[in-house]
Structure 1
């Protein structure tokens, strides 16, 4: 008898199953691969963090850790500011700045609000500009552009120092505290400081007699001299009118006479106003002359 041969095993079908085919096609989809490679790990991480932070105590402990870490970095020696240096300010202004920017040194540079400090310094009348920066070595450098007073303004509220643009610099206790500065007065005088300075410059030949300028009706200027004399200037061409008066005075000593005012408001017809005593004397002289003629 011939032996019975064992049946050959069935050959495996190389074609993928329907499930394997679908999974393979799904894997070839870019969106699916992105979700699987990035989305799933991210979701797991977010879920783990959310689960960990769900506990109030853990959140507080984590906050303390980050707070201590931040404070440790901010208080490193290289980040500490030890002093403040102020350049460009007078002694009085220097003191004012230190009063409005009170700092307890040493202080971390992270705790300094430089822009807020700058705005506070610019709020001072005497400060035209300010810059702040932290220099190496733990120095807070404050650079000041200080307003320089050029005139004294006598207003309804008292005496004030003004710069060349009419900005308030500081109050003044008494006129004698700054005898080196010219005096202006009247409502609106602070808005015309530039014109006032031009008039003061033109009045240099009268410097020994000049007492100040008065703004009249917020429209024009009166030049006030000693002996209660005034030069009434027009609204326009005030400097030229004053120069004409000075030229007449230099030629004929006009202001040395017994005059109360020189009215230049009408450029075509200047007017001299004499004092009451001079008018009375003139009348007396005319009366004597008339009597002598009749006699």
Structure 2
């Protein structure tokens, strides 16, 4: 039997066998197909960009291309329209938006414009978009004032959520709006509106509400009469006074204050003239008794 020549052995060598097995490994194949090419390209790019002159030329080409696209007529904005705003609010919006037209829509930060518009106290919400034809449209929803708030600085318009929408030049310009006063009153507008709604037959005599000590309300009527309401259950206490007045005409008498701060013991304070009259009558009664 003749010996086999190792050089003519068809079996692969040990290293060839290991290479073939390695090429069959999914992770190694992923490395060859994806990771290695990406690494080579990234390294070549970094080497190319390491030259400052090349980076400057690339940036110049990018800026020229961006400018050429941004200044095309279809991307230019030439006017601004404000919808849903009154004349005064529209003027305020234009004052805080110093935009120079025509301007490229690529240079307009719509989110920043929207945030700036909604920062106005009289604006509840706003939407901003660029319409076809080069028009920047701002659609706003104004806050609806429901009550007047008297402060040391004058009268202010306040909406139902307690936001001051702007100043009120005179009480007579807003006769349909109720009135409140006192520090912190704007944070309790909803309760103030419930008190006004509960006034019923006292509504024609109701002059306003005063927030006292950041805690409770005083109801101010004509003839300098006041109803002192408790910190909690103010509406119920006010309704109780109205019911007593309906039965006994309590508020038609010569009194100054109805104190409802203690629900179990409401008290009244008579006017000075009523006290003097009561004292005179009591003296007459005492004299007649003698």
User: Counterpart of 2:122?
Assistant: 126
User: C-alpha displacement at 1:189, in angstroms?
Assistant: 1.3
Against the structure 1 CA distance between its residues 49 and 198, is the aligned structure 2 distance closer, same or farther, given a 3 Å change threshold?
closer
- Greater alpha carbon shift after TM alignment, 277-286 vs 177-186: 177-186
Partner Cα distance (1:277, 1:62) in 2: 93
Q: Deviations over 1:100-138 (max 9, x none)?
A: 112112211100011111111121111121221222222
Partner Cα distance (1:165, 1:97) in 2: 22
- Structure 2: unaligned runs, 5 residues or longer: 1-6
User: Counterpart of 1:184?
Assistant: 180
User: Counterpart of 1:291?
Assistant: 287
User: C-alpha displacement at 1:215, in angstroms?
Assistant: 1.2
Q: Deviations over 1:161-186 (max 9, x none)?
A: 21111122112333333232111111
Partner Cα distance (2:138, 2:202) in 1: 43
**Structure-to-structure mapping, 1:90-109, within 5 angstroms:** 90-109=86-105
Q: Tell which structure's C-alpha radius of gyration is larger.
A: 1
Tell me the SS of whatever aligns to 1:153. Answer: strand
Against the structure 1 CA distance between its residues 292 and 86, is the aligned structure 2 distance closer, same or farther, given a 3 Å change threshold?
same
- Structure 2 residue 137 is matched with structure 1 residue 141: yes
Partner Cα distance (2:42, 2:263) in 1: 91
User: C-alpha displacement at 1:43, in angstroms?
Assistant: 6.0
User: Counterpart of 1:213?
Assistant: 209
Partner Cα distance (2:32, 2:193) in 1: 78
**Structure-to-structure mapping, 1:237-276, within 5 angstroms:** 237-276=233-272
Partner Cα distance (1:290, 1:44) in 2: 115
Against the structure 1 CA distance between its residues 292 and 133, is the aligned structure 2 distance closer, same or farther, given a 3 Å change threshold?
same
User: C-alpha displacement at 1:227, in angstroms?
Assistant: 0.8
User: Counterpart of 1:154?
Assistant: 150
User: How many residues of Structure 1 are paired with residues of Structure 2 in the alignment?
Assistant: 275
User: C-alpha displacement at 1:54, in angstroms?
Assistant: 3.8
Partner residue of 2:274 out of 271, 275, 278: 278
**Structure-to-structure mapping, 1:216-227, within 5 angstroms:** 216-227=212-223
Tell me the SS of whatever aligns to 1:198. Answer: helix
Partner Cα distance (1:39, 1:260) in 2: 92
Partner Cα distance (2:166, 2:41) in 1: 67
Partner residue of 1:84 out of 54, 77, 80: 80
User: C-alpha displacement at 1:157, in angstroms?
Assistant: 4.0
Partner Cα distance (2:286, 2:52) in 1: 118
- Structure 2 residue 101 is matched with structure 1 residue 115: no
Partner Cα distance (1:217, 1:39) in 2: 74
- Structure 1: unaligned runs, 5 residues or longer: 1-13, 16-20
- Structure 2 residue 69 is matched with structure 1 residue 73: yes
Partner Cα distance (2:64, 2:92) in 1: 36
Against the structure 1 CA distance between its residues 61 and 236, is the aligned structure 2 distance closer, same or farther, given a 3 Å change threshold?
closer
User: Counterpart of 1:18?
Assistant: none
- Greater alpha carbon shift after TM alignment, 246-255 vs 142-151: 246-255
User: C-alpha displacement at 1:280, in angstroms?
Assistant: 0.3
Partner Cα distance (1:194, 1:139) in 2: 40
Tell me the SS of whatever aligns to 1:223. Answer: strand
